Structure 1
């Protein structure tokens, strides 16, 4: 039931009062599950209890406990505090049950340890208006609360939170003017890894019709690796790795243990292999139950053949991290050789293949290229190929327009698609990517390309370019990809040299190499 002005909507748990803003009605901070504290700590999300009267839905809910840095910034979050982390926000053109508009549900990124749906960079007003559809954003547990593998608790609690939020959408979105049969889930970076996980999770089946995965990270942990890392996090806190012990510590204080371990993960390379250089101790865990297998394995077996997929990456993904770490132009042959030996497929053969494929590349360029390929570009490409192999449909893109900020050296780096998609050029990461440049007209052209394609896909399953077929040699037809720039172009997959080197590579769950071995210095 809605009021005449559409500002009050009755959900299954109770009535909420939103606000009219810029031609939309916006509802913020609606709980979709009980606060995961006390007896509910480290458990699966519990259904929210009903409330009496009408709840004001004016402010975003508090962020889940997390480290101090968020969305490329550091310091204290400008956000509410409290335990009611599990909330959703809704932007709708018309809170009328008869409207039945398509619904887009956003899942934020942040290395599975940061993020908040109330971040200004995720303001969905422009997207909702551009597509005349309903946009939902959600909070989920990150870091230790959401992804640490702790004895006696379910794995992947952050993913289970996302499933609970999608169930809330299924059960309530009609009252906000949305169509529960036309739901598209979309996310970037760790949010894209979450989308890929949802495609593979039995508990998420039937909750969405379409999926958009922007810059899919290839890092998924084996159960053994995740438990070993969790034990080290507990050791940092001076505790045994049990739910009872960890629950005794305030969740906002416990984040310091994960942050401390992340800062020295590189010393664990002999023990944790490729996971160690990522400096984040969290990823989805292939536990065999919540997440039965990796997304690539699941999709190739047909698990998501009934879900339409749009996926893609940015050309220069890893350059952002080099810039933030002060490493641009500072990397030499030793670092390049080590990176190639660690991440290129085939070990020494892979190193030789990269050097042959990019003979004029500097050591820094080789270092960046193999990190970009291993962490984002090839996992994304392989997700599209697995979907096609499993009998499903996928559309592929690559963003090539360079970020104008930071002296123009960032290229088409990681995260650039967020301000372009949402039109939030001066918020969060956009502050860095557009710093000192203003907002050039080309950025608004790209925003129109993104919003037109994304909302068309949410409405029809067609973003405006041909589906990816996984065939061809890159010299002619096949493997068609939308290259997103000021002048978009459909062409065979652009990074053919990398594609060939990674052809046949299996993105398996990262293993534990040697439990309990002492870290190196």
Structure 2
């Protein structure tokens, strides 16, 4: 048993393998009753000792649809108090030298995911001298619905509240509130890109890692379409007041119907961070050129075959013909020469593989290249990586989300193995895990900063656990995008 005093009261955690662990810590009040569709409210302090030995409730969400549910485990823990976080820190936690702090923001298209996934276990970060924090935040319509009578970006506001809690309490856990790195994947990385552009996040973190998520936000009027579609399905007004009268099961059922069929690469109805003039005052894609994020060290990267997570399991890859490829290029306004240029480096690729590579670049690699280019010559170091090790599971290749278990060094977790299989290279996990820790500790993951030569540390080259620095990879394809 381990006791620690926080700004709201005393917590009881556990000590496991030399690591003090505190789970389910509330950083904001439960978003229920009058607090539904409202900004996160402060926690009411408690008397006595609060148990923090089990994960807290997860945000309301639907399960992933088949067959993704077999590849992306998504624990669902019932309860109202979903605004909670977890901490792993070297034991004994109190009185230690200030350690680097890393705050993990999970992905899931802003409608799935939680901090309770075993892949995200922070034990090995704490083992290696980092205080690891993972957070939950509101998802779907309750976190990212757009209403005329409620603030936008409630899930992003939750993340800000969690970061404020970290700043106020890290001393007690042996962490340094002046050395905080936020890192996240997919929607978590998109969230961090928005935080980089947000004046509300100033001083809350000092380094950031964007894994397979690019800076993007859309106007509120456009994002409101999802909320309005749900309102039509439910037969209610598209207002927060009307939505708050319904229980969560009704909202989730309507959300499942309205968002069915889309994915991050093919599009469809979903949830987005919006430009709200407040938390996100301007487009995160253009804000860095105006100085947003100056002084914050940044590491970004993508996986070589991001698209395969969505194209392969359900058979979409095999249904894409040359005609479909050309139609998709026109519909999504990709460069008209892209099929020919991409095929030059992939002569044996199917039309689905060509389209997937184009979509991966359009949505992830190219926006991240533009972000890093905008930071050249500005304060704050910038680094780029690519994860290239191909999973043997279902021919997924180096697909979206595959790198996470390597970063956390949790290859033994059955949840991780759902994507990696049983023979993932442990040396590669050691290399990546150490690079993330080095970046958090001193702002240097161990390779060249981004510059005009475009250096990219490529992990898992040639299908092995090796890594190498590649300069300007696939630059002919990148130059197509201007």
- Per the TM superposition, whether the score is higher than 0.5 is yes
Q: Identify the range of structure 1 (196-205 vs 355-364) with the bigger mean alpha-carbon deviation.
A: 355-364
Contact 1:343 1:374 in 2 (8 A): no
C-alpha deviation, 1:250, in angstroms: 1.2
State whether structure 2 residue 389 is matched by structure 1 residue 377.
no
| Aligned mates of 1:248, 1:456 — CA distance in 2 | 48
The match for 2:315 is: 326
C-alpha deviation, 1:265, in angstroms: 5.9
The match for 2:376 is: 388
C-alpha deviation, 1:426, in angstroms: 5.4
Find the residue that maps to 1:180 and give its secondary structure: strand
The match for 1:439 is: 423
Residue among 193, 210, 213 paired with 2:210: 213
The 5-angstrom pairing of residues 9-408 of structure 1 reads 9-69=4-64, 72-73=68-69, 78-94=75-91, 95-129=93-127, 131-217=128-214, 219-263=216-260, 277-345=266-334, 350-359=335-344, 360=347, 361-388=349-376, 390-406=378-394
Name the CA shift for 1:11/1:19 in 2 (closer, same or farther; >3 Å): same
Find the residue that maps to 2:157 and give its secondary structure: helix
Find the residue that maps to 1:309 and give its secondary structure: strand
| Aligned mates of 1:253, 1:424 — CA distance in 2 | 36
Q: Return structure 1 stretches of 4+ with deviation > 4 angstroms.
A: 74-79, 426-429
Name the CA shift for 1:353/1:119 in 2 (closer, same or farther; >3 Å): closer
| Aligned mates of 1:220, 1:99 — CA distance in 2 | 39
The match for 1:474 is: none
Contact 1:314 1:414 in 2 (8 A): yes
| Aligned mates of 2:104, 2:143 — CA distance in 1 | 17
Runs of 5+ unmatched residues, structure 1: 267-274, 472-477, 504-521
Find the residue that maps to 2:182 and give its secondary structure: strand
The match for 1:511 is: none
Contact 1:426 1:434 in 2 (8 A): no
CA offsets per residue over residues 178-222 of structure 1, 9 Å max, x none?
000000000000011011111011111110010011011465222
C-alpha deviation, 1:329, in angstroms: 3.0
The match for 1:510 is: none
Q: What TM-score do the two structures reach when normalised by structure 1?
A: 0.86
The match for 1:410 is: 396
Name the CA shift for 1:230/1:426 in 2 (closer, same or farther; >3 Å): farther
| Aligned mates of 2:265, 2:331 — CA distance in 1 | 11
State whether structure 2 residue 444 is matched by structure 1 residue 462.
yes
Contact 1:145 1:251 in 2 (8 A): no
* RMSD of aligned Cα (Å): 2.1
| Aligned mates of 1:284, 1:194 — CA distance in 2 | 7
Q: Identify the range of structure 1 (226-235 vs 47-56) with the bigger mean alpha-carbon deviation.
A: 226-235
Runs of 5+ unmatched residues, structure 2: none
C-alpha deviation, 1:358, in angstroms: 2.3
| Aligned mates of 1:428, 1:245 — CA distance in 2 | 41
State whether structure 2 residue 467 is matched by structure 1 residue 482.
no
Count of residues in correspondence between the two structures: 472
Contact 2:402 2:420 in 1 (8 A): no
| Aligned mates of 1:325, 1:282 — CA distance in 2 | 22
Q: What TM-score do the two structures reach when normalised by structure 2?
A: 0.93
C-alpha deviation, 1:244, in angstroms: 0.9
